[in-house]
Amino acid sequence: MKGYARYFGNKVIWFIITFIVAFVINVIRPRLMPGDPVAAIVARMAQNATNTAGLQAIYRQYTELFHTNEPLLTQFLFYIRNVFNGDFGFSFSQYPRTVAAVLRTSLWWTVMLQFPAIIIGWILGNSLGALAAYRKGGYDALILPVSVFASALPAFGMATILLVIFGVTLKWLPTSGGYGFDLIPAFNWKFIWSVVLHYQLPFWSIVLIAIGGQAIGMRSMSIYELNADYVKYARFMGVKDSKIIRYVFRNAMLPQITGLALAIGTMVGGALVAEIVFSYPGLGTTLLSAILGQDYPLVSAITLIITIMVLIANFALEILYGFIDPRIKAAQSD
């Protein structure tokens, strides 16, 4: 048990350090951006105003509101204090809404879309990969190129193809949004059914991509394990095939769990873009509008939230890994 405690302690320290670094990068980077976003808002708000004194007053008020006149360090301290109170400040492009209010809704759409999709894709991909390695022959010859092609297709490419086939041509499923544009979010069957329908295309576009990548990884790992000496020895001893397979795939699975962590980290990029193709009301679409509106509190809040999501997912997987992989315990206890 002491070995585990040390392993977990190590991981927790790592988690905290990475978190701090990610946080600093997140806050500092967008603030180094050239141009004055406050000036941009004022210009947008006062397009028809001619009163210069009035404009200056508006500008001063906004500068004080957003603290953009303070030195970078002060801004940074302000930001930290506010973030720990759950306050990300005001959104520049959607003022007077706060960043927290903008994110509260979109965050859930993204979480509900991405995590189930990545996990289901991972499970299906690994099963297919294992099957390809075990059955070999024609089955393998079919699955490998298809998987390589599927994983080569970018997430937005898969999203567009599904959108055009099932949304535009066949008209089976709706093409954009998270629910019907004529509905108000409420807990009734009509709304839930609409959400389910709108969920299908973004969901499957992420799942199909994930299947490809995971199948390739699992296939190589399984072939590697199937050729290992212990398998040959076990076959020699007359151990039943089904029993050998269980061991082989358990061993091949281990690296694939790291693969799941990696998938969550890298899918974020691709899946955010896939959301944009479907105008899904998640973080991706919000991020796009924040970038177009030069809204740096919103951009850094979104990137921070995504980073935290990925960090937590990674952390959880590493902890899980510690329980599954006996070698970690062995490595820590000597």
Partner 1 sequence: MKNTLKQIFHSGKFVVGFCIFTSIVLTVIIFPLFVKDPPLGIISQGTFLPPGIYVNVFDSIGTQPYILNLDDAAAKRIASKLSDDDRAAIKEWLVKAGIPEHQIDTTDTKALLTLWENNYDPTKKIPGMIFAKTRYYERLNASLQGLLSSEGITIGSTDAVSGTLASPSTIRRTDYVNIRDVPNVRLLLLGTENFGRDVTVELISATGVSLLIGIVAGLIATTIGLIIGLAAGYIGGVVDDILTFITNIFIVIPSFILLILISFSIGQEKRGAVTIAIVIGFTSWVWTARAVRAQVISLRNRDHVSLSKLSGHPIARIIFTDILPYIASYVFMALILQISSAILTEAGLAILGLGPRTTDVPTLGLMLNWAFIYQAQVLGKWWAYLPVIVVIALVSFSLNLMNTGLDQVYNPALRE
Tell me the C-alpha distance between 312 and 19, whole Å. Answer: 10
Q: Minimum distance between the CB of residue 5 and partner 1, rounded to whole angstroms? A: 21
The closest of 33, 94, 97, 26 to 68, measured between CA atoms, is 33
Q: Minimum distance between the CB of residue 20 and partner 1, rounded to whole angstroms? A: 10
Give the residue with the Cβ less far from partner 1, 55 or 322: 322
> Token pair for residue 246?
């269980």
Query: Residues 6 or more apart from 134 whose CB is under 8 A from it?
Result: 222, 226, 245
Q: Minimum distance between the CB of residue 60 and partner 1, rounded to whole angstroms? A: 25
Rounded to the nearest 5°, which phi and psi values hold at 90?
-90, 145
Q: Minimum distance between the CB of residue 50 and partner 1, rounded to whole angstroms? A: 29
297-330 exposure pattern, b = at least 16 Cβ within 10 A, e = fewer: bbbbbbbbbbbebbbebbbebbeebbeebeebee
Residue identified by tokens 């947008």 is 44
The closest of 114, 151, 143, 129 to 253, measured between CA atoms, is 129
What is 171-229 written as a DSSP string?
A: --S--SSSS-TT----SSHHHHHHHHHHHHHHHHHHHHHHHHHHHHHHHHHHHHHHTSH
Which residues partner with 98 through β-bridges?
90
> Token pair for residue 221?
């790992």
Interface contacts to partner 1, rule CB under 8 A:
14, 17-18, 21-22, 25-26, 29-30, 32-35, 136, 140, 144-145, 148-149, 151-157, 160-161, 163-164, 168-169, 175-176, 216, 220, 223-224, 227, 265-266, 268-270, 272-273, 276-277, 287-288, 291-292, 296, 299-300, 303, 306-307, 310-311, 314
Q: Minimum distance between the CB of residue 137 and partner 1, rounded to whole angstroms? A: 9
Give the residue with the Cβ less far from partner 1, 107 or 268: 268
Give the residue with the Cβ less far from partner 1, 115 or 191: 115
Give the residue with the Cβ less far from partner 1, 55 or 288: 288
How many Cβ atoms from other residues are within 10 Å of residue 60's Cβ? 13
Q: Minimum distance between the CB of residue 138 and partner 1, rounded to whole angstroms? A: 12
Tell me the C-alpha distance between 216 and 132, whole Å. Answer: 9
Give the residue with the Cβ less far from partner 1, 156 or 249: 156
Please report which helix (H) or strand (E) contains residue 83, including its range. helix 72-84
Give the residue with the Cβ less far from partner 1, 58 or 119: 119
Give the residue with the Cβ less far from partner 1, 152 or 320: 152
Give the residue with the Cβ less far from partner 1, 80 or 312: 312
SS3 14: helix
Q: Minimum distance between the CB of residue 235 and partner 1, rounded to whole angstroms? A: 17
Q: Minimum distance between the CB of residue 281 and partner 1, rounded to whole angstroms? A: 16
SS3 147: helix
